[in-house]
Structure 1
C-alpha cells in the first residue's frame, strides 16, 4: 500500500462492467470495511430535486417515469449514445456525487470501528475520484463471464454493455493504473481468499479481525 493520506486507507475498486466489483466490496465489508457505492450515489443524485429539475430541463419530460422519478434506463439510452450528452449529465451529477463521497469518507474515518474504506465506482478514473484513494484494486474477469453476469443480474444486452464501456477507459489502462489485481473468474471463496491476502499485505488483518468481533 502506498503512503496513505490518513491512518485509515481508502481503497478504490476498478474493473469492467460485470467484473464483480460489488462482490469484492462485499468481501471487504465482511471484514468491517465501510463501502461507498458509486452506483447508489448516482441513483441518489437523480433523486435530488435540483438535479432532477436540471435533467428535465435539458432532456424533457420524456425521461420521467409515471411517478415523476427519472427513468434511469431511458436516460442512459440517451447519454450513452452521444458523448456530448453523457458529458452534460456528468457535469450535472458528478460534483454532487464527489461531495457525497468525500462526506462519507470523512464520516467513516471518524468511526473507530471502521478499519478501512472501500470506494466502488464504475467511472473512478474517468471522474478523478481515484484522487481520494490510497490504493487501487482491479477486479479481473473474462468478457464472456462479465456479459453473462450482467445479462442475468441486470438484463443488459451485449450492445448496452458495449455502449457503456465506450464511456469508460479501456480495461487495459485500468489494470495498468491499479496497484493490485484480483481474479474474479472463479468462486467467491477464491475471491475471498485474495481479499484476505491483501488485508495481510496491507497490515490490516488484525484491525479487520477486531472490527469483525465488534472490538
Structure 2
C-alpha cells in the first residue's frame, strides 16, 4: 500500500489589520479548509500547565473571574514589553506548531490553508508549499486598526511594532496580495490566487513540529 500523500500546504499571513482574515473567510467560502493559528493559540491558553507558567510569569491579574486567561489583559502586558512577549511566544508557539502538524498528519484533504499572523517572525515558512502575504501600507493599516479595535495611537504603534514590517514580509513571501484598494480590486486578486492554489505542486518542506 502506497503511503498517504500529505496535503498541499498554503500559509496566509499579513500585518495586523491587513485583511488576512477576510481573505481566509473568502477562501473558506470557496470550499477550502482553513485553520487559524490564533484560534489554535487560544485553545492552548486553556491548558492548565500553560496557565501555571503564565501565572508565575505575569501574576493573577491576567485571569478573569472564571479562571480563564483574559487575552486583552495579557496583550496589554506583552505588547509593552518585548521580553515578556518573547516569553509568551516561547510557551505558546511550540504547542501551536504541534497542533498544526497533527492537523496536517490526520487530514485526508488534498489542500489545507493556515492563517498565521507571525509566520515569518516564527520562521515557519519552510513548512509550506506556498506563502502569501496580504500587503497594506501603514496609512491603510492604521485607519483599519483604529476602526476595528478603537485603540489609542500609542497602542496602535505598539501592536504594529511588535510584528515584522510589511515590506520585509513582502520580500519573504512567495506571493503578495495587495489590499490597499477596494474590495473589488481585492477579489480580482483572490481569483488569481485561487488559480495558483489549484495548480500548486508539492515541494520538499519541513515539518512544523521540527521547527
TM-score interval for Structure 1 and Structure 2 normalised by the shorter chain: 0.7 to 0.9
Verify the 8 A CA contact 2:12 2:134 in the aligned structure 1.
yes
Q: Does 1:180 align with 2:175?
A: yes
Q: What is the CA deviation profile of residues 1-23 of structure 1, one whole-angstrom value per residue up to 9, with x for unaligned ones?
A: xxxxx663211122211010101
Tell me the number of residue pairs that the alignment of Structure 1 and Structure 2 aligns.
Answer: 196
Q: What is the CA deviation profile of residues 143-163 of structure 1, one whole-angstrom value per residue up to 9, with x for unaligned ones?
A: 222222222223333322321
Alpha-carbon spacing, 1:148–1:107, altered in 2? closer, same or farther (3 Å):
farther
Q: Hey, what does 2:139 align to over in structure 1?
A: 144
Instruction: State the distance in 1 between where 2:117 and 2:157 align.
Output: 14
Verify the 8 A CA contact 2:146 2:156 in the aligned structure 1.
no
Instruction: State the distance in 2 between where 1:7 and 1:64 align.
Output: 39
Instruction: State the distance in 2 between where 1:7 and 1:41 align.
Output: 21
Instruction: State the distance in 1 between where 2:32 and 2:105 align.
Output: 14
Q: Does 1:123 align with 2:118?
A: yes
Verify the 8 A CA contact 1:32 1:116 in the aligned structure 2.
no
Residue aligned with 2:121, SS = helix
Question: What are the ranges of 5 or more consecutive residues in structure 2 without an aligned counterpart?
Answer: 201-211
Question: What are the ranges of 5 or more consecutive residues in structure 1 without an aligned counterpart?
Answer: 1-5, 206-215
Q: Hey, what does 2:46 align to over in structure 1?
A: 47
Alpha-carbon spacing, 1:188–1:117, altered in 2? closer, same or farther (3 Å):
farther
